[in-house]
C-alpha cells in the first residue's frame, strides 16, 4: 500500500500541511523542518528525489475508511501500477471522526496533482452535493470515480456491473431451491445498493418469486450492522440472504449462528467483493468477485489518456466490468422452507 501524507507526518512528528509544504517547496519552510520531513521520507523507504516538486508526478487516491478489506486491495493494486509509471501516490482515507472527503480535496487543492482516483465519496450517494468536485474540474485535473454511478462531473466512471452481480447471486440461490431470499443491502441512498436492489426485484419478477418488502434490509456497511439487519430477515423466514458486501455477509453468518442455526444447512449466504480472507473463513464464503486488477489497470490507463488529452474528461465515459461468482461453503440446497415462526 502507498505511503500517505499521514504516514510521513506521523514519522516526522509534524502536521500533514507541513509535509505538503516541504514536498511542494513552499516558502516559509525552515531548514530544520525540511530536514526532518526528508529524514522521515527516507526512513519510510521512499526515494527523496521523487518528492521534489520539479518533475514530481503526484496522484491521489481518496478512499473511505479502509476497515472494509476490499479498499486496501484497490489501494495496493493502484499504488503498485502507478509506481511502475513513476508516480508518487498520496492516499487520503477519510473517516467520520477524522478528515472528511471535502477536507482532503481542500488539502489537495495546493498539490501539483496529475490526477485523482476516488474509491468512494459523495458521488456514490443519491442526492448528494457534488460541488466539491469542481475543485478538480476547475484545475483540469482528471478524475476517476470507482464503484458508483455516472454523475454530473467530468471524468471517468468505473465499476463492476452491480446489476449482473446481484443477478448471478440470486440465480445461484434459486438454482439451489431457495425462494425465501432476503436482501441485505447498504444505505438506501448508496448507488451500488440501489442498483443491486433494482436488479433483484427484476429477477424476482421474471422468476415469479414473491418478495415482500420485509425481505429487504437496508443498513450501514459493517459486520455489526449486518448482523442486526440479518437477524430480522432470518426471523422473517429467509432461507438465504444475498448481501451487498462481504462485511454484511459476515454479519449475516454471525446472526445465523446467534440464532442457533447452521450455514448452509439452515441459511445460505452470499457476499460481494471477494476480499482476500473470504476463502479462509469457516465456512468459506460464496461471493461475487470484483475483478480488482482489471479495474485498476483500466482506470490508470484511462487516466493517462485524459492527462494527455483533457477533452476526454468531458466525455464522462463509463466502464463496466463483469463480475464472477465464486461458489464456496456458505451456500447449499434449500432443505426445507422456513416460516416467520421458525427461528431455530
The 3 state secondary structure assigned to the chain is: CCCCHHHHHHHHCCCHHHHHHHHCCCCCCCHHHHHHHHHHHHHCCCCHHHHCCCCCCEEEEEECCCCCCHHHHHHHHHHHHHHHCCCEEEEEECCCCCCCHHHHHHHHCCCCEEEEEECCCHHHECCCCCHHHHHHHHHCCCEEEECCCCCCCCCEEEEECHHHHHHHHHHHHHHCCCCCEEEEECCCCEHHHHHHHHHHHHHHHHCCCCCCHHHEEECCCCHHHHHHHHHHHHHCCCCEEEECCHHHHHHHHHHHHHCCCCCCCCCEEEEEECCHHHHCCCCCCEEEECCHHHHHHHHHHHHHHHHHCHHHHHHCCEEEECCEEECCCCCCCCCCCCCCCCCC
Please report the pLDDT score of residue 9 as a whole number: 83
Please report the pLDDT score of residue 25 as a whole number: 58
Please report the pLDDT score of residue 52 as a whole number: 47
Please report the pLDDT score of residue 47 as a whole number: 59
Please report the pLDDT score of residue 1 as a whole number: 53
pLDDT above 60 for 48: no
Confidence of residue 53 (pLDDT cuts 50, 70, 90): very low
- Residue predicted with more confidence, 75 or 340: 75
This prediction has a pTM of: 0.82
Q: Which domains does the chain have, with CATH numbers?
A: 5-160+293-322 (3.40.50.2300), 162-289 (3.40.50.2300)
- Residue predicted with more confidence, 228 or 84: 228
Please report the pLDDT score of residue 55 as a whole number: 47
pLDDT above 50 for 318: yes
**Average pLDDT score, the chain:** 90
Percent of the chain exceeding pLDDT 90 equals: 70
Please report the pLDDT score of residue 344 as a whole number: 45
Please report the pLDDT score of residue 22 as a whole number: 75
pLDDT above 70 for 61: yes
Averaged pLDDT for residues 101-118 = 90
Q: Are 310 and 155 in contact (CB under 8 A)?
A: no
Confidence of residue 337 (pLDDT cuts 50, 70, 90): low
Averaged pLDDT for residues 250-264 = 97
Averaged pLDDT for residues 113-123 = 95
Please report the pLDDT score of residue 19 as a whole number: 79
Averaged pLDDT for residues 333-343 = 69
Averaged pLDDT for residues 66-81 = 92
Most confident region among 46-50, 91-95, 275-279, 331-335 by mean pLDDT: 331-335
Q: Which range has the worst mean pLDDT, 127-141, 194-208, 215-229, 327-341?
A: 327-341
Confidence of residue 54 (pLDDT cuts 50, 70, 90): very low
Please report the pLDDT score of residue 118 as a whole number: 97
Averaged pLDDT for residues 185-193 = 97
Amino acid at each position: 500500500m502507498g505511503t500517505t501524507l499521514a504516514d510521513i507526518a506521523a514519522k516526522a512528528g509534524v502536521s500533514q500541511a507541513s509535509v505538503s509544504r516541504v514536498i511542494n517547496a513552499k516558502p516559509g519552510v525552515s531548514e530544520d523542518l525540511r530536514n526532518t520531513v526528508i529524514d522521515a521520507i527516507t526512513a519510510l523507504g521512499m526515494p527523496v528525489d521523487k518528492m521534489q516538486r520539479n518533475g514530481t508526478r503526484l496522484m491521489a487516491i481518496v478512499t473511505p475508511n479502509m476497515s472494509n478489506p476490499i479498499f486496501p486491495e484497490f489501494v495496493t493494486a493502484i499504488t503498485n501500477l502507478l509506481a511502475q509509471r513513476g508516480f508518487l501516490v498520496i492516499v487520503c482515507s477519510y473517516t467520520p471522526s477524522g478528515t472528511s472527503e471535502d477536507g482532503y480535496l481542500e488539502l489537495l487543492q495546493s498539490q501539483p496533482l496529475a490526477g485523482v482516483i476516488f474509491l468512494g465519496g459523495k458521488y456514490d450517494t443519491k442526492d448528494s452535493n457534488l460541488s466539491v468536485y469542481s475543485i478538480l474540474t476547475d484545475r483540469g485535473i482528471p478524475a476517476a470515480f470507482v464503484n458508483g454511478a455516472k454523475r454530473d462531473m467530468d471524468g471517468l466512471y468505473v465499476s463492476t456491473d452491480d446489476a449482473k452481480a446481484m443477478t448471478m447471486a440470486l440465480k445461484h440461490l434459486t438454482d439451489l431451491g431457495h425462494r425465501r431470499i432476503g436482501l441485505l443491502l447498504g444505505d438506501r441512498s448508496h448507488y451500488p445498493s440501489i442498483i443491486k436492489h433494482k436488479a433483484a426485484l427484476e429477477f424476482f419478477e421474471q422468476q415469479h418469486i414473491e418478495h415482500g418488502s420485509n425481505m429487504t434490509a437496508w443498513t450501514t456497511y459493517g459486520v455489526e450492522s449486518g448482523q442486526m439487519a440479518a437477524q430480522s430477515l432470518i426471523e422473517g423466514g429467509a432461507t438465504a440472504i444475498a448481501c451487498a458486501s462481504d462485511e454484511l455477509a459476515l454479519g449475516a453468518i454471525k446472526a445465523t449462528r446467534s440464532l442457533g442455526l447452521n450455514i448452509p444447512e439452515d441459511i445460505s449466504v452470499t457476499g460481494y467483493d471477494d476480499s482476500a480472507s473470504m476463502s479462509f473463513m469457516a465456512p468459506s464464503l460464496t461471493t461475487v468477485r470484483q475483478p480488482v486488477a482489471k479495474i485498476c489497470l483500466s482506470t490508470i490507463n484511462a487516466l493517462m489518456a485524459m492527462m494527455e488529452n483533457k477533452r476526454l474528461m468531458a466525455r464522462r465515459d463509463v466502464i463496466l466490468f463483469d463480475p464472477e461468482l465464486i461458489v464456496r461453503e456458505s451456500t447449499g440446497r434449500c432443505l426445507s422452507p422456513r416460516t416467520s415462526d421458525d427461528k431455530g
